[in-house]
Each structure stands twice: as C-alpha cells, then as structure tokens.
Amino acid sequence: MREDAPGPPALATGQSPSGGAHPEPVVRAELSEPSPAVPGSTPASGLEPAGSTAVAPSGRRRFWHGVREFLVVIGIALVASALLRAFVVQAFFVPSGSMLPEIHKDDRILVSRINTIERGEVIVFKDPDNWLQSVEQPPPPTGLRKALEWLGVLPASGHEHLVKRVIGLEGDRVICCEGGRLVVNGVSIDESSDLFQGKGPADDQTYDVVVPKDHLFLLGDHRYGSGDSAYHLDDGTAFVPEELVVGRAFSVIWPIGRAHLMRTPEEYVDLPAGQEPPDRAVINPVRRPR
C-alpha cells in the first residue's frame, strides 16, 4: 500500500512557517454603533442629539433684539411721563419775580393737578386775558422742546401761564387796606413775614371787592411788582375763572440750593366763609390815598 505523505508539521504559536518569530497579531479597534437614545435621558454634555437643527443666534440678531427691547422701554417711559404730566403732576419754569420771596425768577416748580383750591395756596393758571407782559413772557417753545415739554421730560416754559397766591375764593370780600393789612371776610391778616416788602403796606393798590361765582382773586407775594388781580381791577379781568387753574404749586425743585416744599401761611387758615357768591363781581368804591 502506498502511505500518505506526511503533512507539514504543526506550527508553534509565535512562529512563522519559515521558523522565524511571528509578530503579535494586530488588534483593530472597531467603532461601535451608537446606542439608541433612551426616552427621557439627557445627552452627554457638549453633544448635540442626533438630528438636532438648533442654531446659535448671530451677533447681529442679538443686537437688534436688544435695540427693540430698549425702544419698548423708552416708549413705555414716555407714555407714563405724559400721563403723569396730564393727570398728576407737572413741572413749570417761572420767568418772573412776582412771587418773591417764595419763588425766585427762573426757578422750577412742581404743580399738583389733584387738589381743591384753598386760600393761601400758590397756583399756576392760564393767562386769563393778556395779563402777561411781553417782558415777562418767554418765547413759545418750538420743535423738539415743545414735544419734550408735552411729554413731561422738560418743565413747561411758562408761556401763557402765571403763578400767584389765592387770596379770595368765590363769595369772599377782600379789602385793602386797613392799618396796612388785607382784610378777608372781616378778618385782618398779617402777611408781613411772607411778602417781599416785609412790614410795608400789604398792597400799593386800594380796593374793596366781592369775588364772583366760580372765580378767584389772586395776588403775587411781590405786591408792588406783580401784575395780579389788584393790578387788573380797572380793565375788567381781575377775577380769574377757576376753570383756568392748572394746579397747586407745592415745591421748588431747582435750583437745588433753594429747593423746598411750599406751605400755606397760617394767616390764611381758618378764615371765615364768604357770602353767597354773586354772579357778577362787586367792586365797591374806595377813597384812594393821595
């Protein structure tokens, strides 16, 4: 029988067929497929989930978003300021010294629109009939200033407005002077500590009047230099309609060195009520001093 030829000898581990050392087998790392996401799980930090389309906002987009928010805030502030000016409080510029020593020329004052009118209060009102002299009246605001005044950003320039103290309400009888003092409803009042002239006569005019219905009798604290109700007795515009009142001045806010709250002088408090107000003003004849 013919014997089969012997096969090649078995190779030992680490040997090549030629008998030399066989290099260690190279192990290749295979990238495994990502495991499917488990519902409710959170991706690892810094990794976007598969299929994400999120895009970081550009710098330009962030800029315009900020501008839009800024404009909205400014718009809300301007509307609030305009509403505040229209219904609550308003600032005014005072162009004359007719209310010295309480209010100086070029002062800024705050005026409350929410109040009743009482004797002794300082009020701002619209010019009833050309009371303002051309030298006292500032030029009317125009352009941007007019818009900013309307919005309440700037104080009103005082154009066509005046500021005086309430002396007589409707039905009050006001006389000047007895012993150098005003007499209101039969009561002599000492204003010497509140007037510019101090202890001098309460006014350089003489009068005896009864204030008509829905009107006011107003005087400046600088009596000898104020175009007020006493000054206008001869031209028929002395008594100011209540409907022209803007509000009560309650504070000087500028300059800072003179900033203060205004008070109602004690001599005007608790004065007796006047008579039934007449429909037309009563101006009694008085003997003027020579």
pLDDT of 269: 92
Residue range 209-235, pLDDT digits in tens? 999 999 999 999 999 999 999 999 998
pTM of the model: 0.69
Between CA 262 and CA 109 the distance in angstroms is: 10
For the record, the structure tokens of 265 come out as 């002088």
Q: Which pLDDT band, with edges at 50, 70 and 90, does 148 fall under?
A: low
Half-sphere exposure of residue 31: CA atoms within 13 angstroms, side-chain side: 2
Q: What is the 3-state secondary structure (H, E, C) of 44-111?
A: CCCCCCCCCCCCCCCHHHHHHHHHHHHHHHHHHHHHHHHHHHHHCEEEEECCCCCCCCCCCCCCEEEE
Residue 191 reports pLDDT greater than 90: yes
Query: What values do phi and psi take at 178, rounded to 5?
Result: -120, 115
Which one, of 282, 281, 271, lies nearest residue 241 by Cα?
Answer: 281
Torsion angles phi and psi, residue 43, rounded to 5: -60, 155
Q: How far apart are CA 234 and CA 255, in angstroms?
A: 37
Per the structure block, which two tokens stand in for 29?
A: 């790392």
Name the residue ranges covered by the structural domains of the chain: 73-283
Q: Write down the CATH number for the domain with range 73-283.
A: 2.10.109.10
Contact 169, 163 (CB under 8 A): no
Angle between helices 59-87 and 143-151 (to 10 degrees): 70
pLDDT tens digit string along 95-129?
A: 889 999 999 999 999 999 877 899 999 999 999 88
